[in-house]
C-alpha cells in the first residue's frame, strides 16, 4: 500500500502517515495545477518548497518516498501505477469540492485502488458538523463556535466558558496609539532547497499568463519569508505567543499603514499546508494564558479564529458546494478593477494593502474583509472574479478557504454564512485605520471632486440593493439614513458612483 500525501497535508503525526509507518509514500508536484491561476510566486514557492522539505524529512526518518514532478497530476498517478501495477493507495480527504471523488476516479482509471479516509488536519469531523447543523441551509458562526468550545473543552470551566463569556469581541476593536511599534515579524532565510524552488518557479511560471492584467508578472515579490518546515512553523507559533499574543486581541481589527503584520499570528500559511496542526496552535496559546496570564480577550480571539471560523467555513463550503461557488444573490456584474493586480490607485488604504499583497501574498483578515472585499462589493464586482483574485494572490488561499470567505461573507453573494453584507463607508476605514490622514481623498465628502469613493459607493450600494436588504433588521438604521436624503442628494450619489465605476476600470481612482 502507498500513502498519497497531497501538497496541503504535510503532517506526519496524523492520518495514514502516522497509522502506516512502514508503507511507501507518494507526493506529486503538478505544474499544470500551478498554472490554473496566476498565482503569487511566494505561494508557489511556499507549496513546492514545503513539499520538498517534507519529502526530505520523511526520507531522513527512513520512509520510502516517491516524489514525482509532472505536468499533470494524472501523469504522476499513471507513472506510479505503471511502476506498481494494481497498487492500493490511501489519502486523507482533501477539503476542496469533489477532490476526493476525482482522485478515486483517477486512480481507478489507471488500474489502482484508492481509499479516502478522514482528514485529521481539522478539529471538527463532517459527522460532528452535520449532527450540529441538521438540515439547516444557513449557518451562524457564533452557535457553531460555542458548540466547538463544548466539544473540545477549550477555554471551558466545566459547562461554562472561562471568564464567564464566550466572546470578547467588544474588547478587540482598539486602534494603536500614534507611537505604536509592533514587534518584528519572523523571517526565515531561504535555504538551498527553497532557493532552488524560487529559481524554478521564476523560470517555469513567469509569463504563464499572457492576457492582461496578469501578463508580465502581476506580483512584485519581496524577500520570501514564510515557514516551509514543521520546525519553522513551530518557531512562528512561539514568536506569536511570546511577542504578539498579548496585544493580538485589542488590535486584531486595526489597520496601520506600512505595518502589515501588527500582532497577527501569521500562522495561516503553515496551518493550511499541514505544517502546523491547529490543535498544536490552540493548545499552545491556551497554555500561555494559564501559565503567564496572557489576556483572555486575546487568547479567546485567536481560539475563535482557528477553532471557530476556520472549521466553520470548511464545513459550510463542504455542504453548500457547488452552489456556493456560483452564488450571486445581489446580481453583481462589474469586472474586477485592474488595480487589484497592479496596485495603481490614489486611494491610500487600497494602494498600501494591494502593494503588500503584491510583495508578500498576504494581508490580515480585516484588510481582506473591510477594505478589499468591501470596496469590490460596493463597486458591484461579480463575486467569482474577486474570489479568483483572492485564490491566486494569497499564500494561504485555497478554494475551500476563499469561496466561503469571499463569495459568502466578503461579497454577500450568499447568505449562508452571514445575515447582512459587511460593507461600510470611509467612516469605518478611518475608525479602524490611519490611512485617511495621508489620502488625497476626503473621508468626510460623499460627492464632488476629491470625495472618498467609499462614501458614494456605500450609499449607492444600499439604494441599488434596497429590495433585497431594506427589510433586514440589522440594517434598519442605515436605511433610515438613506431615506432621509433628498432626491437631489441621491441623484448626485448615483452619478458619482457611476463615474467611480468607470474610473475604476480605467485605473483613474
Q: 57-66, pLDDT tens digit by residue?
A: 999 999 999 9
Query: Does 411 lie in the same domain as 471?
Result: yes
CATH of the domain at 297: 1.25.40.80
Question: Between the CA of residue 377 and those of 95, 110, 422, what are the distances in Å?
Answer: 27, 45, 9
pLDDT higher than threshold 80 for residue 374:
yes
Tell me which residue range forms the domain holding 266.
126-188+225-320
3-class DSSP state for residue 43? Answer: helix
Number of C-beta neighbours around residue 98 at 10 A: 11
- 462 neighbors 478 (Cβ within 8 angstroms): yes
At residue 208, the pLDDT reads: 54
pLDDT higher than threshold 60 for residue 454:
yes
- Which residue reads 498600501 in cell numbers? 352
What single-letter DSSP state applies at residue 184?
Answer: P
Mark which of 65, 96, 117 sits at the end of a domain: 117
pLDDT higher than threshold 90 for residue 504:
yes
CATH of the domain at 46: 3.40.50.620
Q: 111-136, pLDDT tens digit by residue?
A: 999 999 999 999 999 999 999 999 98
Query: Does 132 lie in the same domain as 108?
Result: no
At residue 36, the pLDDT reads: 86
Quick one: average pLDDT of 396-404?
97
Quick one: average pLDDT of 408-436?
95
Query: Does 252 lie in the same domain as 151?
Result: yes
Q: What nine digits make up the cell of 145?
A: 463556535
At residue 206, the pLDDT reads: 67
Query: Does 143 lie in the same domain as 292?
Result: yes
| pLDDT category of residue 165 using cuts at 50, 70 and 90 | very high
Quick one: average pLDDT of 432-450?
95
At residue 164, the pLDDT reads: 96
Mark which of 263, 287, 320 sits at the end of a domain: 320
Q: 7-58, pLDDT tens digit by residue?
A: 999 999 999 999 999 999 999 999 988 888 899 999 999 999 999 999 999 9
- 500 neighbors 456 (Cβ within 8 angstroms): yes
Percent of the chain whose predicted confidence (pLDDT) is above 70: 98
Query: Is the bond preceding residue 322 a cis peptide, omega within 30 degrees?
Result: yes
CATH of the domain at 385: 1.10.579.10
pLDDT higher than threshold 60 for residue 478:
yes
| pLDDT category of residue 137 using cuts at 50, 70 and 90 | confident
Quick one: average pLDDT of 331-336?
97
Query: Does 492 lie in the same domain as 469?
Result: yes
pLDDT higher than threshold 80 for residue 207:
no
Query: Does 43 lie in the same domain as 16?
Result: yes
Q: 210-219, pLDDT tens digit by residue?
A: 554 555 478 9
Cβ neighbours of residue 501 closer than 8 Å, sequence gap 6 or more: 334, 379, 380
At residue 470, the pLDDT reads: 93
Residue 280 inside a domain? The answer is yes
Residue 207 inside a domain? The answer is no
Q: 225-275, pLDDT tens digit by residue?
A: 999 999 999 999 999 999 999 999 999 999 999 999 999 999 999 999 999
Q: How far is CA 404 from the centre of its chain?
A: 10
The total domain count for the chain is 3
| pLDDT category of residue 209 using cuts at 50, 70 and 90 | low
Q: 84-113, pLDDT tens digit by residue?
A: 999 999 999 999 999 999 999 999 999 999
Query: Does 147 lie in the same domain as 267?
Result: yes
Query: Does 304 lie in the same domain as 181?
Result: yes
Cα dihedral 303/305/308/311 (nearest 10): -120
Amino acid at each position: 500500500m502507498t500513502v498519497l500525501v497531497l501538497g496541503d497535508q504535510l503532517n506526519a503525526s496524523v492520518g495514514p502517515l502516522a497509522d502506516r509507518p512502514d508503507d511507501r509514500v507518494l507526493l506529486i508536484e503538478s505544474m499544470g495545477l500551478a498554472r490554473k491561476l496566476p498565482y503569487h510566486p511566494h505561494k508557489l514557492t511556499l507549496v513546492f518548497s514545503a513539499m520538498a522539505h517534507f519529502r526530505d524529512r520523511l526520507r531522513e526518518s527512513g520512509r520510502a518516498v516517491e516524489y514525482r514532478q509532472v505536468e499533470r497530476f494524472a501523469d504522476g498517478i499513471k507513472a506510479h501505477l505503471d511502476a506498481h501495477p494494481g497498487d492500493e493507495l490511501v489519502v486523507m480527504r482533501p477539503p476542496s469540492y469533489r477532490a476526493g471523488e476525482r482522485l478515486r476516479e483517477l486512480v481507478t482509471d489507471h488500474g489502482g485502488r484508492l481509499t479516502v479516509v478522514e482528514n485529521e488536519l481539522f478539529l471538527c469531523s463532517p459527522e460532528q458538523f452535520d449532527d450540529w447543523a441538521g438540515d439547516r441551509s444557513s449557518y451562524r458562526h457564533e452557535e457553531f463556535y460555542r458548540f466547538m468550545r463544548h466539544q473540545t473543552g477549550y477555554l471551558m470551566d466545566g459547562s461554562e466558558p472561562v471568564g464567564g463569556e464566550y466572546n470578547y469581541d467588544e474588547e478587540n476593536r482598539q486602534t494603536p496609539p500614534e507611537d505604536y511599534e509592533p514587534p518584528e515579524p519572523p523571517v526565515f532565510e531561504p535555504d538551498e532547497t527553497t532557493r532552488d524552488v524560487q529559481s524554478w518557479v521564476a523560470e517555469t511560471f513567469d509569463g504563464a499568463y499572457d492576457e492582461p492584467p496578469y501578463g508580465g508578472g502581476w506580483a512584485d515579490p519581496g524577500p520570501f519569508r514564510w515557514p516551509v518546515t514543521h520546525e519553522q512553523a513551530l518557531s512562528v507559533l512561539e514568536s506569536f505567543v511570546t511577542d504578539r499574543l498579548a496585544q493580538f486581541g485589542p488590535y486584531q481589527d486595526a489597520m496601520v499603514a506600512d505595518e502589515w503584520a501588527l500582532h497577527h499570528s501569521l500562522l495561516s500559511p503553515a496551518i493550511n499546508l499541514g505544517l502546523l496542526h491547529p490543535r498544536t496552535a490552540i493548545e499552545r496559546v491556551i497554555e500561555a494564558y494559564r501559565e503567564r496570564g496572557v489576556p483572555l480577550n486575546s487568547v479567546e480571539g485567536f481560539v475563535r479564529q482557528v477553532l471557530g471560523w476556520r472549521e466553520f467555513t470548511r464545513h459550510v463550503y463542504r455542504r453548500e458546494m457547488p452552489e456556493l461557488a456560483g452564488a450571486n444573490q445581489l446580481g453583481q456584474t462589474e469586472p474586477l478593477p485592474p488595480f487589484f493586480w497592479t496596485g495603481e490607485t490614489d486611494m491610500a488604504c487600497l494602494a498600501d494593502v494591494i502593494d503588500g499583497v503584491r510583495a508578500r501574498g498576504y494581508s490580515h483578515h480585516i484588510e481582506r474583509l473591510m477594505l478589499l472585499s468591501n470596496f469590490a462589493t460596493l463597486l458591484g464586482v461579480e463575486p467569482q472574479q474577486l474570489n479568483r483574485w483572492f485564490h491566486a494572490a494569497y499564500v494561504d488561499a485555497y478554494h475551500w478557504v476563499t469561496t466561503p470567505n469571499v463569495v459568502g461573507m466578503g461579497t454577500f453573494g450568499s447568505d449562508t454564512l452571514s445575515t447582512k453584507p459587511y460593507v461600510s463607508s470611509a467612516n469605518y476605514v478611518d475608525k479602524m485605520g490611519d490611512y485617511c490622514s495621508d489620502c488625497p481623498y476626503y473621508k468626510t465628502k460623499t460627492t464632488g471632486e476629491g470625495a472618498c469613493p467609499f462614501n458614494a459607493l456605500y450609499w449607492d450600494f444600499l439604494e441599488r440593493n434596497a429590495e433585497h436588504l431594506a427589510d433586514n433588521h440589522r440594517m434598519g438604521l442605515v436605511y433610515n439614513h438613506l431615506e432621509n436624503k433628498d432626491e437631489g442628494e441621491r441623484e448626485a450619489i448615483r452619478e458619482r458612483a457611476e463615474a467611480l465605476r468607470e474610473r475604476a476600470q480605467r485605473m483613474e481612482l
